[in-house]
């Protein structure tokens, strides 16, 4: 039976790497699929991994219809065995409904990859719908770490190293601050609650020594 599987974890845990690996593994078994993404940090129509892997993909806009796309491919003689859907947190609930229909009515496997919650710890609409509809949700085993060494579970948006909790839910950025205007950092729950990023910790936990300590 085909399945709708949701692979999730915080930023920097290897979701896009696994998406590309899944496509490679399926292709090695002689299956043919399509890759989709939305708002990848490397630009439109691509799935990119921080370790350097990258593959072209179909960009998913608000008006994109997965069901119509799959029917068009199949009725025009194209083979289609599975779908790889990266950055699924940016998909709309309607996109997820379409993917579930593809699994149920066309018996095609759909693999979705994305983060659960935004920088305010609120679920994205797309991932909320995935949790409601997916056949299985897998938490990725490669766990990034907070600056304190504990496993990171929350995504923080930062500006000049300071955590912000207001703004648009979707702002494309990366965990490398120098590469984009908006940066993100993965934190444990304790330090996300305290808004203590690595930059703040360096200031508050490692002050300059007093003159008489030198």
110 strand-pairing partners:
4, 83
Q: Which of these is catalytic: 59, 73, 87, 185?
A: 87
The pLDDT-based confidence of 203 (bands split at 50, 70, 90) is confident
The encoded tokens of residue 148 equal 């304190």
CATH: 3.90.850.10, 3.40.50.620, 3.40.50.300, 3.30.559.10. Which one for 1-142?
3.40.50.300
Listed in order, the ranges of the chain carrying CATH 3.40.50.300 are 1-142
Instruction: Estimate to the nearest angstrom the gap between the alpha carbon of 155 and the chain centroid.
Output: 11
pLDDT tens column, 32-47 = 999 999 998 888 899 9
The DSSP element (H or E) to which 154 belongs, if any, is strand 154-159
Give the CATH architecture of domain 143-206: 2-Layer Sandwich (3.30)
202 HSE (CA, 13 A, CB side): 6
Q: What is the pLDDT of residue 168?
A: 78
Q: Answer whether 39's CB lies under 8 Å from 180's CB.
A: no
Confirm whether 87 is a catalytic residue. yes
- What value does the mean pLDDT of the chain take? 90
pLDDT tens column, 112-131 = 999 999 888 999 999 999 99
CA gap 171, 161 in Å, rounded: 16
């Amino acid at each position: 039976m085909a399945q709708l599987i949701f692979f999730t974890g915080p930023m920097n845990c290897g979701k896009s790497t696994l998406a590309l690996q899944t496509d490679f593994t399926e292709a090695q078994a002689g299956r043919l699929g399509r890759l989709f993404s939305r708002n990848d940090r490397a630009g439109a129509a691509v799935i990119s991994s921080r370790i350097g892997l990258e593959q072209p993909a179909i960009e998913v806009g608000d008006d994109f219809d997965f069901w119509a796309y799959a029917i068009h491919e199949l009725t025009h003689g194209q083979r289609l065995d599975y779908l790889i859907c990266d950055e699924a947190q940016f998909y709309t609930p309607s996109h997820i409904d379409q993917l579930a229909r593809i699994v149920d009515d066309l018996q095609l496997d759909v693999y979705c990859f994305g983060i659960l919650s935004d920088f305010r710890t609120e679920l994205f609409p797309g991932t909320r719908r995935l949790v409601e509809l997916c056949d299985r949700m897998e938490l990725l085993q490669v766990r990034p770490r907070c600056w304190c060494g504990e496993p990171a579970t929350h995504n923080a948006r930062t500006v000049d190293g300071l955590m912000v909790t207001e703004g648009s839910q979707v702002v494309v950025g990366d965990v490398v601050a120098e590469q984009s205007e908006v940066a993100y950092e993965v934190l444990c729950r304790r330090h996300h609650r305290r808004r203590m990023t690595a930059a703040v910790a360096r200031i508050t936990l490692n002050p300059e020594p007093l003159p008489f300590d030198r």
